[in-house]
Amino acid sequence: MLSDFLFQALASKHKHCHMTKSLLLAVLLLSSAAQAETWVCTLPSSDDSSYLLRFSRNGNRFSFTNSSILYEGGDPRIVYEGSLIPIIETETMLNLLDIKTDGTNLGIYMINKETNVLISDGVRYSVDTLRGEGHCVKI
pLDDT at 56: 95
Cα distance between residue 135 and residue 44, in whole Å: 9
Q: What is the mean pLDDT of residues 27-50?
A: 71
> Residue 5 domain-assigned?
no
The answer to whether residue 134 is domain-embedded is yes
Write out the H or E segment, with its range, that includes residue 122. Answer: strand 117-124
- Could you tell me if residue 67 is inside a domain? yes
Range of the domain at 91: 34-138
Which CATH number belongs to the domain containing residue 123 in this structure? 2.40.128
Could you tell me which residue, 122 or 30, shows the higher pLDDT? 122
Q: Is residue 81 part of a domain?
A: yes
Which pLDDT band, with edges at 50, 70 and 90, does 15 fall under?
A: very low
Tell me how many domains the chain contains: 1
Has residue 51 been placed in a domain? yes
What is the distance between the alpha carbons of residues 87 and 58, in angstroms, rounded to a whole number? 15
DSSP run (H or E) holding 11: helix 2-13
**CA neighbours closer than 13 Å in the CB half-sphere of residue 115:** 9
DSSP 8-state symbol, 101: T
pLDDT in tens, 49-106: 788 999 999 999 999 999 887 655 667 788 888 899 999 999 999 999 998 878 788 8
12 inside domain? no
In a domain? residue 9: no
What pTM value is reported for the model?
Answer: 0.67
Q: What is the pLDDT, as a whole number, of residue 124?
A: 79
d(C-alpha 21, C-alpha 42), whole Å: 11
* Residue 15 belongs to a domain: no
pLDDT digits (tens, 9 = 90+) for 44-54: 877 777 889 99
Residue 16 backbone zone (phi > 0: left; psi -120 to 50: alpha; other: beta): alpha
